[in-house]
Every structure is written in C-alpha cells, then in structure tokens.
C-alpha cells in the first residue's frame, strides 16, 4: 500500500510543498519562504501538527467539521460503501441507494416544502447550479428576461466563475474576469463598521431597502433571485440587525423574487438550528448546502429546492450536472454525519450548553482594550479589533494588519482563530465542551494581550 509518511522531517515536507503544491487564496512565494504548517492528525477539537503541537481548532477546519475530528463510524461507513459501490453516476436514468437516502433525509430536515436536492461536489458547484436553475426556471415560466441575481458586497458564495461572481469579494473580482454578466451587488448589513449614526435597527432597514431600490433600478421583470448567507461567514461573521431579514423577505415576496439562502456555513447546526434560515426567520425557495452536510469528511454539497421550482424544472431536460453529483461514498458519509448529529443531540448541545457558555465568555472579551465589538450566534462568533473602543474606530494601518498580528499570536498559543481584515472569527466544532471553551478563551486572551503589546510597540494603535 502506498503511504505518504507522516514521519518525514517538517522541513522536507515544507520544501516539497513549496516546490509542487499551489495553495488556494495564498501568496505562494511568501508561504514558500515561511513554510506551511503541516497538520498530521486530529481528534475531537484538537489538531496535531508535524512538530507535535496540539492546537485547538477554533475554525472546525474551514467551518465544516461540525461533529469534530476522528469519528471512526465515518471511516467505517466510507470503507463499507467503497467496497459495495465506490462510484456510479446519477445521470442517464440511474440512481443508487446512498443518493436516494440522503436526498430523502435532507428533504425531511429542510424547512417548508424544500423537498428536492440537486447534488454537487461543493458549495461553489451548488451555487453555480443555483444560477442556472433559477434562470432556467424563469425561462420555463415564460419570463426568460428574469436573469439578474442580486447579492451583497463582501458576501462569499464560492470560487468558481459563477459562484465567485455571486460573491461580493472585491479581491476576487479583480482577478480572472469576474463577475459574469447579470449579477448585481448591494451593500452588506455590517452595522458596526458601516452603520454611522444610525441605530442597528434603522441601518438594517436601510440596507435591506437597497434591495428594493436595486430591483426598481433594474426593473423587477429582469430580476430572478436574491442570494444571501443568513449570517455572512467568510466576510467576517457579520450578524445582520434584527430588522434586516424580515425586510428582505418582504421585498422578495412583494416583487416575486426568488430567495436563495446560502447555508454552506450556517447549515447543519452551526447557528443552533438545523439551518440558519430557521434561526434568522427566512423562508427561502432554495438553500445551498455543503461543508457541515458531511462535516467535511467527504466533499459534497447541493441545492435544496422547493416544490414549485423542482416541479417546473422537471418538465424539461435540465442540461446540468457533475460527475460527482450524489457520489455514493460522499452521500453515505453525509448520511452517517446526519445520524450522528441527530442521535447525539449535537444541535441541542449547541443551543443549550455550548452557545450559552461561549456567549458568556466571548462577550466578556469586550473588556479587553483591543476589542470593540463581539457577536455570537450559535457557534459562529466574531469580534472587532479597534484602536479606540468608544468610537467603533478603524485602525489607521492597512486593514488586516492588526488582525494578522493577532491571528499569528493565536497560532503561537496553539489556537486556530482566523482574521478577516481586523475582525477575528471563530467557528469551532459543534461538540466543543465548556472545558474546551475555557481553553479557547484562555489562549485567545493571552494572544490578545501579546498582540496588544506588539501593536502598541509597533506604533499601530492609531485610529484612522
């Protein structure tokens, strides 16, 4: 059996990595000089690197390892499915048991009449499906001019041409010819940094009403759908004011615009319910799912579609699909993941134990001189670093300078906490215990203290 050794010296692994492996969202020259951190094993909420460090994973991998690492049942199910049927496709009038069972299970869990699943290999692929599906839906309804999809700046919906265009990441749009035509973006509901003198409630309404203004500007007869993450994840865990989603829902209903909830991060327990739409009171026509669907143990995503759209699309051949749509091993692994989440009461644990405890400790970080704002929904949290707490001030330094310093101090203290600009974010495995939350907060506090000292010493504690 060919094995990749875990016992090669770190420097050799790093040299091979630098020579041959192109990392996503990375300046690879800089990384080559520094050397990648090499993760070799993981269990529960803890990663082990090639130097033997034990690191608390405050990000659940990439927002996905909801059930935690090292669940042997997942490996057993994958091996069993590989032995029985490692691959078959779902094109050309065939199906197989894992895809059938998973689609039926997702339909049971999903709210309302979201009863149909189009599988993909990832969240990006699923959002590409959504673009084509909503446009084709309107074409079948005799309204082919309804093509425009409205999204938000600083949204993240994936990295393919379609999904990256839906997203509102300026840095992505600057490279490689994005966005594709007929995608429009409105401003994000980020009160802390963009709300000015408005109350959060006023600001939530103001930002939601940009959707109405955009619809009227384009002409409602040209607008196919609105897409949003119930809570923006990659954009910095931005929790919209309470007034935002009800107003978005009202506007979508009024103009008969389809509503797509991108649940790739919020889905499968992250917000304390099965779906973020339930937490935020949204009634979507389509939900994008991936990540927590399999807890990242296998790559799988999909679009969960309401009766009306699915029945309409069913009238025609939908010329769309991926080799790995409903991949049997990934589907079997996802089903086992859903069984674990349900039978072990993991969402109850989030709601009743982990969230309340983390909330107490997370919001207490507001007392730190570097912290100006904390937010936490379920187990997705963020906080703003600021040079001047009283004023919701930005740093004068380039955005992300203080965040990067703080992130590096977290790593040095064996904690994975990410930064988005000067906002720190967490999204730990949903199985995290109160004792592990204590460890997370202790390491974060120490890292923030060290970062504060360094930021001050480097003369960066200045407001813009």
* Residue 157 sits in the site that holds ligand PXG (CB under 6 A): yes
Using the contact rule CB under 6 A, the part of the chain among 155-163, 308-316, 322-330, 455-463 near ligand PXG is 155-163
* Residue 134 sits in the site that holds ligand PXG (CB under 6 A): no
Burial 400-431 (b: 16+ CB within 10 A, else e): ebbbebbbebbeebbbbbbbbbbbbbbbbbbb
Using the contact rule CB under 6 A, the part of the chain among 76-84, 97-105, 153-161, 370-378 near ligand PXG is 153-161
* Residue 354 sits in the site that holds ligand PXG (CB under 6 A): no
Distance CA 12, CA 50 (A): 11
Using the contact rule CB under 6 A, the part of the chain among 257-265, 302-310, 312-320, 378-386 near ligand PXG is 257-265
Q: Residue 58 or residue 387: which is nearer to ligand PXG going by CB?
A: 58
Distance CA 243, CA 200 (A): 8
Residue 1 C-beta: closest distance to ligand PXG, Å: 29
* Residue 240 sits in the site that holds ligand PXG (CB under 6 A): no
Asked whether 236 and 423 are in contact (CB, 8 A), the reply is yes
Residue 234 C-beta: closest distance to ligand PXG, Å: 3
Residue where the block lists tokens 């079997």: 332
Q: Dmax over Cα atoms in the chain, in whole Å?
A: 66
Query: DSSP class of residue 149?
Result: E
* Residue 128 sits in the site that holds ligand PXG (CB under 6 A): no
Q: Residue 44 or residue 233: which is nearer to ligand PXG going by CB?
A: 233
Residue 213 C-beta: closest distance to ligand PXG, Å: 24
The CA radius of gyration of the chain, in Å to the nearest whole number, is 22
Distance CA 411, CA 328 (A): 37
DSSP-assigned beta bridge partners for residue 260: 227, 286
Asked whether 463 and 395 are in contact (CB, 8 A), the reply is yes
Q: Residue 193 or residue 461: which is nearer to ligand PXG going by CB?
A: 193
Using the contact rule CB under 6 A, the part of the chain among 119-127, 181-189, 302-310, 432-440 near ligand PXG is 119-127
* Closest residue to ligand PXG, based on beta-carbon distance: 123
* Residue 335 sits in the site that holds ligand PXG (CB under 6 A): no
* Residue 247 sits in the site that holds ligand PXG (CB under 6 A): no
* Residue 265 sits in the site that holds ligand PXG (CB under 6 A): yes
Q: Residue 111 or residue 369: which is nearer to ligand PXG going by CB?
A: 111
Find the DSSP H helices in 54-190.
Answer: 60-63, 72-84, 97-109, 123-140, 161-166, 170-173
* Residue 168 sits in the site that holds ligand PXG (CB under 6 A): no
Q: Residue 301 or residue 387: which is nearer to ligand PXG going by CB?
A: 301
Closest to 424 measured CA to CA, from 400, 443, 446: 400
* Residue 57 sits in the site that holds ligand PXG (CB under 6 A): no
* Residue 60 sits in the site that holds ligand PXG (CB under 6 A): no
User: Would you state the structure tokens that stand for residue 104, as one six-digit string?
Assistant: 């039926």
Q: Residue 123 or residue 179: which is nearer to ligand PXG going by CB?
A: 123
Using the contact rule CB under 6 A, the part of the chain among 121-129, 202-210, 211-219, 304-312 near ligand PXG is 121-129
Q: Residue 368 or residue 418: which is nearer to ligand PXG going by CB?
A: 418
* Residue 262 sits in the site that holds ligand PXG (CB under 6 A): yes
* Residue 123 sits in the site that holds ligand PXG (CB under 6 A): yes
Residue 418 C-beta: closest distance to ligand PXG, Å: 7
Query: DSSP class of residue 389?
Result: G
Grouping H, G, I as helix, E, B as strand and the rest as coil, residue 25 is coil
Residue 277 C-beta: closest distance to ligand PXG, Å: 13
Residue 349, H or E segment: helix 346-349
Burial 90-114 (b: 16+ CB within 10 A, else e): beeeeebebbeebbebbeebbbeeb
Asked whether 142 and 136 are in contact (CB, 8 A), the reply is no
Q: Interface with ligand PXG by CB under 6 A: which residues?
A: 62, 122-124, 127, 156-158, 229, 233-234, 262, 264-265, 288, 290, 301
């Amino acid at each position: 059996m060919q094995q990749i050794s875990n016992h090669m010296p770190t420097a050799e692994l790093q040299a091979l990595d630098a020579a041959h492996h192109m990392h996503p969202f990375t300046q690879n020259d800089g990384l080559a000089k520094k050397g990648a951190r090499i993760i070799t094993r993981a269990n529960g909420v803890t990663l082990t690197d090639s130097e033997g460090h034990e690191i608390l994973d405050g990000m659940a991998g990439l927002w996905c390892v909801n059930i935690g690492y090292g669940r042997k049942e997942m490996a057993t199910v994958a091996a069993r499915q590989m032995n029985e049927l490692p691959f078959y496709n779902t094109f050309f009038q065939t199906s197989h048991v894992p895809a059938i069972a998973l689609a039926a299970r997702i339909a049971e869990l999903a709210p309302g009449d979201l009863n149909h699943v189009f599988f993909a290999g990832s969240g990006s692929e699923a959002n590409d499906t959504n673009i084509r599906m909503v446009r084709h839906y309107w074409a079948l309804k005799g309204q082919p001019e309804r093509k425009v999809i409205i999204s938000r700046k600083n949204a993240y919906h994936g990295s393919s041409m379609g999904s990256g265009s839906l997203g509102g990441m300026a840095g992505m749009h600057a490279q490689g010819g994005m966005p594709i035509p007929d995608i429009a973006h409105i401003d994000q509901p980020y009160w802390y940094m963009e709300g000015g003198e408005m109350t959060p409630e006023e600001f939530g309404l103001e930002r939601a009403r940009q959707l109405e203004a955009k619809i009227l500007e384009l002409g409602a007869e040209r607008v196919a759908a609105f897409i949003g993450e119930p809570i923006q994840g990659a954009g910095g865990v931005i929790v919209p004011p309470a007034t935002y989603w009800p107003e978005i829902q009202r506007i979508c209903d009024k103009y008969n615009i389809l509503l797509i909830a991108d649940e790739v991060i919020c889905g499968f327990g992250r917000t304390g319910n099965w779906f973020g739409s339930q937490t935020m009171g949204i009634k979507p026509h389509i939900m994008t799912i991936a990540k927590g669907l399999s807890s990242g143990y296998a790559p799988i995503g999909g679009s969960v579609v309401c009766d009306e759209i699915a029945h309409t699309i069913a009238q025609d051949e939908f010329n769309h699909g991926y080799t790995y749509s409903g991949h049997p091993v990934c589907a079997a692994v996802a089903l086992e993941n859903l069984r674990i989440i349900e039978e072990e009461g993991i969402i109850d644990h989030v709601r009743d134990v982990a969230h309340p405890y983390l909330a107490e400790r997370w919001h207490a970080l507001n007392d730190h001189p570097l912290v100006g704002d904390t937010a936490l929904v379920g187990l997705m949290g963020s906080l703003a670093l600021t040079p001047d707490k009283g004023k919701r001030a930005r740093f004068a330094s380039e955005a992300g300078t203080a965040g990067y310093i703080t992130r590096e101090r977290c790593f040095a203290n064996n904690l994975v906490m990410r930064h988005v600009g000067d906002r720190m974010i967490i999204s730990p495995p949903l199985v995290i215990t109160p004792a592990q939350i204590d460890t997370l907060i202790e390491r974060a506090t120490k890292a923030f203290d060290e970062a504060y000292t360094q930021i001050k010493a480097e003369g960066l504690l200045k407001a813009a």
